[in-house]
Structure 1
Amino acid sequence: MNIASTLLLAFAMSTDAFAAAVGKGAALHRPRIREALRTGLIFGVIEAITPLVGWALGKAAAPYVASWDHWIAFSLLLVLGVRMITSGLRAPTTEVEKPNSHGFWLLALTGFATSIDAMAVGAGLAFIDVNILSTAATIGLATLIMVTLGVMVGRFLGKAVGQRAEIAGGVILVVIGSVILAEHLGYMS
């Protein structure tokens, strides 16, 4: 996977967290940079760890599926991308009560919930030639940045931008999956 693909993947993985951060920022009266960085750090660390876990699980299965690994990576990214797109297209059904503050465990739980897709992506990456440590670090850093920005501008942007970010992330995952498949089938050099 090249640098551009890694950066696009990192951006795509951070969009769920960005959408959540927009909501977190909208729930605060006046978000301060310290709270935004704290939230970004919690989300970023979790988002960096989950692809490593997925990658380890994928590596354990790799010897059994080596001849069709590119199809697995493509399928996982396609399913995750389509799920993100459809989730972003759905209108929110209920209004969530805004919390007065964001405790560590609430942020960690939200961060984990938005990083499940990164675990599945990590499993898919186990089947292709990729430096998982740098990829996971890039995903974590992108998430830290996106979440910090999301919290700071959340009260101005509202939920609509968060949903659009999720749609964009889903499209990026589908494109990355398609590029991986095309490379392995010999359509791209």
Structure 2
Amino acid sequence: MFLIGLAMSTDAFAAAIGKGIAMRKPTVKQALKIGILFGVVEAITPMLGWLLGKAAAQIISEYDHWVALVLLSLLGLHMIKEGLSSDDDQDSEVDPTQQPFIKLFLTSIATSIDAMAVGVGMAFLDVNILLVAVIIGCSTFAAVTVGVIIGRYAGHVIGRYAEVVGGVVLIGVGVGIAAEHVGLLQ
């Protein structure tokens, strides 16, 4: 179960690095808030998948990677557009409370769709889904918090185009999820 938790948190970790880069100078408090959001969403989705059960297993596993690709690509493209805009506000620090909550929420959902499919699979095994959900949520919380902080330091190196790089990272995560599910990455 611990390995499943780690595996489910990798997409969110990569997205968090991109988010930390885009935020430029996130504080530990901000990283913790984002980590909590991602951790809670990532803990809820396997329970939802578990509730969907066998009937929905094929539907979820058929489309989860495409939904993640579209959501992450749209968010990434928006970040690239914002990063390339000539707005003078680009050099100011960004607080997640100033960021549209919906962007963070959609990113957390996009990176947790695969956990829903895992939850569906768990419905056919003799496992405690609440324990699995807690492990996945805690792993994701830790990974995202660390990812945002890593992005903070990478953002200092990248400078003005940090949000562009963050957008490219989000698109890359989406492409990676889709490529893995269609068998291009094994």
1:48 — aligned with what? 43
Q: Of residues 142, 148, 152 in structure 2, which corresponds to 1:145?
A: 142
Q: How many residues align?
A: 156
- Give the TM-score taking structure 2 as reference length: 0.63
Please give the per-residue CA displacement for 1:60-112, whole angstroms capped at 9, x wherever unaligned: x49xxxxxxxxx79xx879979x99xxxxxxx888352584434623222212
CA distance in structure 1 between the partners assigned to 2:145 and 2:46 by the alignment = 21
1:96 to 1:130, Cα distance in 2 relative to 1, 3 A: farther
1:44 to 1:93, Cα distance in 2 relative to 1, 3 A: closer
Q: Of residues 86, 89, 97 in structure 1, which corresponds to 2:82?
A: 97
Q: Of residues 24, 37, 51 in structure 2, which corresponds to 1:29?
A: 24
Cα RMSD (Å): 3.9
**Residue 29 of structure 1, CA deviation:** 2.6
Residue segments in structure 1 that go unaligned for 5+ positions in a row: 1-5, 63-71, 85-91, 174-189
2:108 — aligned with what? 111
Q: Report the residue type matching 2:101 in the other structure.
A: W
Q: Does the aligned pair in 1 maintain the 2:39–2:140 contact within 8 Å?
A: yes
- Give the TM-score taking structure 1 as reference length: 0.62
Q: Secondary structure at the match of 1:24?
A: helix
1:57 to 1:149, Cα distance in 2 relative to 1, 3 A: same
CA distance in structure 2 between the partners assigned to 1:8 and 1:15 by the alignment = 11
Q: Percent identity?
A: 46
CA distance in structure 1 between the partners assigned to 2:50 and 2:112 by the alignment = 14
Tell me whether 1:38 sits opposite 2:33 in the alignment.
yes
Runs of 4+ aligned residues of structure 1 deviating over 6 Å after TM superposition are 76-81
Please give the per-residue CA displacement for 1:142-166, whole angstroms capped at 9, x wherever unaligned: 00000000100114186688858x9
Residue segments in structure 2 that go unaligned for 5+ positions in a row: 69-75, 84-89, 156-164, 182-186
